[in-house]
Amino acid sequence: MSQSLPAFANAPVLVVGDVMLDRYWYGATSRISPEAPVPVVKVGQIEDRPGGAANVALNIAALGAPVKLLGVTGADEAASALTERLNSVGVETHFQVCTEQPTIVKLRVMSRHQQLLRMDFEEPFATDQAAFLAATETLLQGVKVLILSDYGKGAVANHQALIQAAKQQGVAVLVDPKGTDFSIYQGATLLTPNLAEFEAIVGPCQDEHQLVAKGAELMQALDLEALLVTRGEQGMTLLRPQLPALHLPAKAREVFDVTGAGDTVISTLAAALAAGESLPKAMVLANIAAGIVVAKLGTATVSAPELRRALQRENGAGRGVLSLQQLQAAVEDAKAQGEKVVFTNGCFDILHAGHVTYLEQARAQGDRLVVAINGDASVTRLKGPGRPINAVDRRMAVLAGLGAVDWVVSFNEDTPENLLRLLKPDVLVKGGDYAVDQVVGAEIVRANGGEVKVLGLVENSSTTAIVEKIRAE
């Protein structure tokens, strides 16, 4: 299904759960220890990343959605590192501090992009559940979706009280479940177990029919509105009462590290639902986001520009003919990647060698070339009766097939000035004998910090001359 990126900026989410710090020690290995048959790692870099519920919140912030995070930490350096990292990207943190216990830390020793060792520093927290519930009720105000990110570390203990508090305020509850007792999540809106977690509850599923049937039974038993089973290389399956199962294949082109993939799925789902997307469309976004994140090393996030570019590929908008909305998103992302966007326009009624040479020269002025072509009515006004020879859709298709052209869009006005105001290209290119100041839209591009260039035309190449020759014969 074709879709655009939701308005994540208007999608507030609350994450409640077990926060932890994922710490990475990177180093080279060149010898085996004389003390034991293990590699010696010379640590050269240390990196801290929010993990657990904190990674879920970080994923939501990366999409540009407002997010609050409630969890439990110790009173230590790891808690300070978590708070600083999360606040720096806009996550609103609310931590219940337990002075008797340390913040949960998972330390990974890495070499040559491989994990050699993981050490966990953790003890289940004895959370003040009354205070935790009161904080949740306060933070739910103004929120559209609540995520319970339950890793079984003690932060989330009174699940039913939290779920009911959200439901009383009309807030959807999404749960990333853990353990072998899913009854504690009774009444939640949606659960997102992976296949192993799902089968640990309902038993092995020999085929799709069994998975769907057992999922339906689980939804009825737990009074769920939906169940999303993530299935690794088999994609994910969405189950809803009285509706057909919806299955999406995995989108990962290359699986490098599955760490945190579940966090990315539930965070993208929550942000999309909070932005007003339907559950199937939110699932599509989550599936694409999961395919992006598993190609990254370690606990990672997916940004809104990354997700938008992936959506463009899904919608066939990587190159070629685009709608204005698609083109705006494509240009925005190209600029975000530091690419220089070149813009040119014309009728391009009968494509000839002069056009091809000119477009290649235009493409050489930057990294991306947008070609805007006049609609049919506009061409008639400019060129007279009998023109265009080729309808706009055919002219666009031919231009889109040229290697020099990235994106093609049409406009119905006689000039592309409105397009230039919307797209704000870095370079406006025109061919002919114009002075730069005579190029239509030059002042618009310059006002936005761009430049205007006039390129020469190939002699003896003219659409009008070709048309007249054909008619004469």
Give catalytic residues, as residue numbers: 263
Cβ-contact 19, 53 below 8 angstroms: yes
Cα separations in angstroms, 338 against 80, 167, 334, 341, 454: 34, 44, 7, 9, 23
> Positive or negative, the Cα torsion across 433, 436, 442, 448?
positive
Binding site feature residues for ATP: 194-197
- Centroid of chain to Cα 214: 31
Encode 324-333: b = buried (16+ Cβ within 10 Å), e = exposed: eebbbbbbeb
Taking the C-alpha atoms of residue 462 and residue 354, their distance in angstroms, rounded to an integer, is 7
Reference 59, options 335, 306, 334, 313; nearest CA is 306
Q: Are strands 19-32 and 246-248 parallel, antiparallel or unpaired?
A: unpaired
3-state secondary structure of 13: strand
Cβ-contact 423, 327 below 8 angstroms: yes
Residue partners of 341: CB distance under 8 A and separation at least 6:
331, 334, 335, 366, 367, 368, 370, 423, 425, 426, 427
Neighbours of 100 (CB within 10 A): 9
Q: Which helix (H) or strand (E) holds 419?
A: helix 417-423
3-state secondary structure of 301: coil
Taking the C-alpha atoms of residue 442 and residue 343, their distance in angstroms, rounded to an integer, is 11
Residue partners of 99: CB distance under 8 A and separation at least 6:
74, 75
Give the position of tokens 């969405």.
238
Residue partners of 125: CB distance under 8 A and separation at least 6:
72, 98, 101, 153, 154, 155
